[in-house]
């Protein structure tokens, strides 16, 4: 919707807005263009939540009391036993 | 993604003064308006402007308007306490009569309620249509148009003596 301005509106529109102080330009653009070291806020929230979950699980999960024991003693292959005995015979007087 | 510096500089050169005056009109404090202008450009540096914008100024004023409303919410108690003097909205005029009129107009604008003043500024000095104003301020089209009419009538009344005196 565009209505044609009357004379009064037209006279108001002719007034130009004041310019900003020139030193603001450098100041404002330098701050706006400063590289961000921190991650973006949503990413920071996700990372924080992930760490919280990891820490919670760490605290809540009970540590195993004893390492699981093998049901049977290790079984050596016959060829390994033969090699062992052979070496023992060789080394021992 | 950061916007290339030259693009941000172009946006500053083209729109900073307009956005600042708009923010100043709402916040009524030059220091706050400058701080918010800084915030506005930090925000812009992280945004990608939509391709094929019909009116860049309208788009930017919509962002500025939202920032100003958030700012007022955050500083609600302080805002009422600060009733600053009329701002120097217009550039100095070479003609003394025109300059007198400009200063009187600044004072008259200061007397308008902020919601009327911001619409008058958008329409008169930023060249926005009522549709664009309504979209920027998230208000119905008719509200934008009627607020503008109220503002203009009040300005007309306040400025009439000087306007008639200066008019050839």
Q: Domain boundaries in chain A?
A: 9-54
- The whole-model pTM stands at 0.69
Instruction: Enumerate the domain spans of chain B.
Output: 1-85, 92-168
Q: Give me the residue from A8, A15, A29 closest to B9, CB to CB.
A: A29
Q: Which CATH class is domain B1-85?
A: mainly alpha
- On chain A, the residues whose CB falls within 8 A of the CB of B38 are 28, 31-32
∠ CA B65-B67-B68, nearest 5°, is: 65
Q: At B2, is the pLDDT very low, low, confident or very high (cuts 50, 70, 90)?
A: very low
pLDDT exceeds 60 at position B4: no
The pair of structure tokens assigned to A65 is 């009391």
The ipTM value here is 0.78
- pLDDT band at residue B100 under the 50/70/90 scheme: very high
Q: What is the pLDDT of residues A27-63, one digit of tens each?
A: 999 999 877 666 667 788 888 899 999 998 888 887 7
For residue A79, the model assigns a pLDDT of 82
Give the pLDDT confidence score for residue B60 in this predicted structure.
95
Partner residue facing A20 (CB), from B20, B93, B145: B20
Domain B92-168, what fold?
Answer: Arc Repressor Mutant, subunit A (1.10.10)
Q: Which residues contact B16 (CB under 8 A, 6 or more apart)?
A: A20, A24, A25, A28, B37, B41
Residue B151: other Cβ atoms inside 10 A: 23
> Are B41 and A28 in contact (CB < 8 Å)?
yes
Measured between CA atoms, the residue of chain A closest to residue B3 is A33
CB-based contact A8 B38, cutoff 8 Å: no
For residue A26, give the chain B residue with the closest CA.
B9
């Amino acid at each position: 919707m565009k209505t044609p301005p009357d004379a009064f509106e037209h006279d108001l529109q002719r007034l130009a807005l004041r310019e900003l102080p020139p030193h603001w330009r450098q100041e404002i653009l330098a701050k706006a263009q400063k590289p961000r070291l921190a991650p973006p806020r949503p990413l920071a929230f996700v990372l924080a939540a992930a760490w919280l979950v990891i820490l919670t699980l760490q605290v809540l999960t009970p540590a195993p009391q004893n390492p699981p024991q093998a049901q049977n003693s290790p079984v050596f292959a016959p060829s390994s036993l033969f090699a062992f005995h052979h070496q023992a015979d060789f080394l021992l007087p | 993604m950061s916007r290339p510096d030259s693009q941000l500089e172009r946006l500053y050169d083209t729109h900073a003064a307009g956005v600042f005056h708009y923010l100043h009109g709402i916040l009524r404090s030059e220091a706050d308006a400058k701080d918010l202008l800084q915030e506005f450009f930090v925000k812009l540096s992280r945004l990608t402007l939509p391709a094929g914008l019909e009116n860049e100024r309208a788009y930017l004023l919509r962002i500025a308007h939202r920032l100003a409303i958030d700012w007022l919410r955050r500083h609600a108690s302080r805002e009422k306490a600060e009733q600053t003097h009329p701002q120097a909205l217009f550039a100095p005029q070479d003609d003394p009569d025109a300059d007198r009129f400009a200063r009187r107009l600044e004072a008259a604008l200061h007397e308008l309620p902020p919601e009327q003043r911001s619409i008058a500024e958008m329409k008169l000095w930023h060249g926005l249509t009522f549709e664009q104003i309504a979209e920027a301020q998230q208000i119905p089209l008719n509200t934008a148009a009627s607020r503008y009419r109220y503002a203009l009538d009040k300005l007309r009344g306040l400025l009439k003596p000087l306007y008639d005196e200066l008019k050839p």
